[in-house]
A and B are shown apart, each in its own frame.
Chain A
Amino acid sequence: MASSRDTRSPERLADEELAALVDAKDSAAFEVFYDRHGGAAYSLAHRIVGDRQLAEDVIQEAFLSIWRSSARYDPTRGSVRSWTLGVVRNRAIDALRRTSGPAPKLDLDDAALLESQAAPERTESEAIRRDAAEWVRGAVGKLPREQSEVIMLAYFGGFSHSEIASMLDAPLGTIKGRMRLGLEKLRETLAEGLPVENGLEGAG
């Protein structure tokens, strides 16, 4: 194994190459992998479970599952970043169900949480991620309330479409239809790089 080791430093490798090295149990590659995705992953876990300690547990579980190859990068599931965040999201939802603690936070307004973070903890990379996050949040905020609501309940709350249907007292088909319309609109907004007022023309 050592003889075939890539001589380039892991920092310079593409995400996909790095994922392959992590899978081959290269601990140096894992460290770079964590440094690239750990911040976004921790933020997502925290958003879902709403608790720092639990978010740490989720990240530890998720990244060790990636390291131990019980979760393995699948290129059909998008970029390494989105696959990693998918692993984290699922672990976080599992943790949420296990703890049966307070109901998950479902509102779009995370300003209060941001304010509660101690300023010195913020780093440059966090600032970049924060700008991107704010922009995307704007795009999500442009969705009709009935669409963003079902998407948030499912993605961050871990509720199934049937649970959401009974919560909102709406037919199953309606809930799934709202999810689709919301995701399609979000996708278009992102593709255009600018928020759009109504974006379903030319979809598909």
Chain B
Amino acid sequence: VSGADHDDRRDDLAAYVIGALDAGEAQLLEAHLAGCSECRRYLRALWPAVDSLATSVPQLEPPAELRLRLVTTVREEAQRIAAAEREGAGRVRQRPTGWRRVFARPAVAFAVGAIVCGAAAIGYVVRDGGSTSRSVIPVRPMAAAPAGSVSASLTTIDGQATLRVRRMPPLHGGRVYEVWAERGGKLRAESTFVLRRDGTAMAAVPNLDGATAVLVTEEPRGGSAHPTSPPLAGASLG
């Protein structure tokens, strides 16, 4: 690397560290950073300067109501997650063996029904303020999933849901996980997701109206219009 290239790279790193690169440029630089310890060292050296910008601003006291709102939300969510995990753990142990047979069938043929009668396991429902209906539903591993490889839950709020994955088998070769909503034996693709480096993920399930189950399959890059593999995980919406 010549001296001039080197300086250019440092210019880029400086722009990157204060968020001044475009998304594409930032991605290229991140790819370079992954393999260049010298640039990583330089970047680390710049962090204190960036931190100082953040802390140089006039210091204000945040309103007490803000803390109250945050803490209330967080306590509620912690309780729901803990309850869903208790429920989920109990269900995994007593998973009906019938599921194994049903979902061992070839892809597409697995389609559902079974998940509904397999368990009527709504985690719990919280009604707050009257009209909003929320629930946290355990997502159970299915026959195609290696033992202990799945930990996830589905949080629904008024017909929309978020799938939270704490653990799923790693993906390879650009493959993705795809989320499906089941209605009357038909599956509709809802979204795709990949895992973060630590194996967790979040995925939106935009439309749950009339759905009786949510399933997750592994699919090729970009997702599929119809499932091409048996589901690894699923949740019954009862």
Residues of A near any B CB (own CB < 8 A): 1, 25-27, 30-31, 34-35, 38-44, 46-47, 52, 56, 59-60, 63-64, 67-70, 72, 76-79, 81-82, 85-86, 88-90, 93, 110, 113-114, 117, 121-123, 126, 129-130, 132-133, 136-137, 139-140, 151, 154-156, 158-162, 164, 173, 175-177, 179-180, 182-184, 186-187, 190-191, 204
With contacts A40-B54, A59-B62, A190-B52 taken as known, whether A72 is within 8 angstroms of B198 at the C-beta atoms is: yes
B173 interface residue, CB < 8 Å from A?
no
CB distance from A195 to the nearest CB of B (A): 12
Complex CA–CA separation, A68 to B70 (angstroms): 12
Closest to B80 in A: A25
Residues of chain A within 8 A (CB-CB) of B10 are: 180
Task: Indicate if the CB atoms of A133 and B59 lie closer than 8 Å.
Answer: yes
Report the bound CA distance from A164 to B20 in whole Å: 9
Q: Is B57 an interface residue (CB 8 A)?
A: yes
Contact A25 B81, beta carbon cutoff 8 Å: yes
Taken residue by residue from 84 to 109, chain B's Cβ proximity to chain A (1 for < 8 Å, 0 otherwise) reads as 01000000000000000000000000
Within 8 A of A (CB), among B49-88: 49-63, 66-67, 69-71, 73-75, 77-78, 81-82, 85
Question: Is residue B5 within 8 Å, beta carbon to beta carbon, of the partner chain?
Answer: no
- B57 contacts which of A43, A122, A179 (Cβ < 8 Å)? A43
Other-chain contact of A154, B11, B12, B15 (Cβ < 8 Å): B15
CB distance from A115 to the nearest CB of B (A): 10
Contact A136–B55 (Cβ < 8 Å): yes
Check: B36 CB closer than 8 A to any chain A CB.
no
Which B-chain residue is minimally distant from A47 (CB atoms)?
Answer: B57
In the complex the two chains form, is A43's CB within 8 Å of B50's CB?
no
Which residues of B have CB within 8 Å of A114?
58
CB <8 Å contact, B48 and A72: no
A160 with B54, Cβ < 8 A, contacts A40-B59, A59-B62 known: no
| CB of B18 closer than 8 Å to a CB of A | yes
Whether A27 and B74, one on each chain, are in contact in the complex, defined by CB atoms closer than 8 angstroms, is: yes
**Interface contact B52-A186, CB-CB below 8 Å:** yes
